[in-house]
Amino acid sequence: MKILNDTKLMFIRNMQHTLRSPVFVFVSMFQPLMYLLLFMPLLNGLGSVPGLPSGKAVDVFIPGLLVLQALFGTAFVGFALIDDIRTGVIERFLVSPVNRSAILLGRVLRDALVLVIQCVLITLVAIPFGLSVNAGGFLLSLLLYALIGITMASISYGFALIYKIEDALAPTLNTITLPVSLLSGIILPLALAPIWLQDLAKINPFSYAVNATRALFAGNFQNIGIIEGFVVIGVLAVLVFLWGLRSLKKMAS
């Protein structure tokens, strides 16, 4: 099928770009690793505070930390797209018969794969810190992280295609990622928050992802939060991808 073949071509092309400077795959893991090393010890001291989810701090913290990585690690992929717009690469793709969805799919799938690799590495680093994780739950979590990555990458590409300049892109992305991550209960559980903040978090799709992956890591497969997380993020990923695709098609007219 044409869309599959074209997506494969675009995925390989973008993967080649990533592999040309693989060091950045590691550089963009620096932020979660710093949280792991310099912030998590604080949580250990908080162990007995009421409102914290049960379990060791590390078991609660790591799934959320990986959501943080999924948000921030993929949020800035739009910059490379602006470069491709400026050098005429996107225009060259658009005048070729290549499937339009494939142009974007090849990028977001690359971003999702890079993210999954980063999540595996961060998890491995966390094991010596006492992380215990359900293997099946972890694999399902990776799928959810990939969906978050696809969501953030699509948002980033969508704005890149609309703005076409870097200056406007960075503040827009920061404006999205910061509140969304604060309202996910990643760093501290939202159970500690006042009611209004908890209500606000309920309309933040990524807080569902945090709940879902915490349940998955713990192996609580009966937890309804898991289904909620996949549905919310899955629907969101599809919607923002279609929005990004619309921006790509609109760029032409």
| Residue owning tokens 């799928």 | 143
Chosen residue from 24, 41, 86, 231 binding another protein by CB under 8 A: 86
The yes or no reply on residue 23 touching another protein (CB under 8 A) is no
Contact 47, 57 (CB under 8 A): yes
Chosen residue from 3, 24, 87, 202 binding another protein by CB under 8 A: 87
What's the closest the beta carbon of residue 161 comes to another protein, in angstroms? Answer: 14
Chosen residue from 6, 138, 216, 233 binding another protein by CB under 8 A: 6
The yes or no reply on residue 84 touching another protein (CB under 8 A) is yes
Chosen residue from 24, 26, 92, 220 binding another protein by CB under 8 A: 92
Residue 6 to residue 116: CA distance in whole angstroms? 22
Nearest to 159 by CA among 179, 173, 147, 145: 173
Contact 155, 140 (CB under 8 A): no
What's the closest the beta carbon of residue 116 comes to another protein, in angstroms? Answer: 24
What's the closest the beta carbon of residue 88 comes to another protein, in angstroms? Answer: 3
Nearest to 69 by CA among 128, 125, 131: 125
Chosen residue from 45, 88, 171, 194 binding another protein by CB under 8 A: 88
Chosen residue from 93, 208, 230, 241 binding another protein by CB under 8 A: 93
Residue 104 to residue 241: CA distance in whole angstroms? 8
Chosen residue from 96, 174, 175, 220 binding another protein by CB under 8 A: 96
95 by Cβ neighbours in 10 Å (0-12 / 13-18 / 19+) ranks as exposed
Taking the CB of residue 172, how many other CB atoms lie within 10 A of it?
Answer: 17
Nearer to another protein, 83 or 199 (CB): 83
| Residue owning tokens 């869309």 | 3
* Residue ranges in contact with another protein by CB under 8 A: 6, 9, 13, 16-17, 20, 84, 86-89, 91-98, 252-253
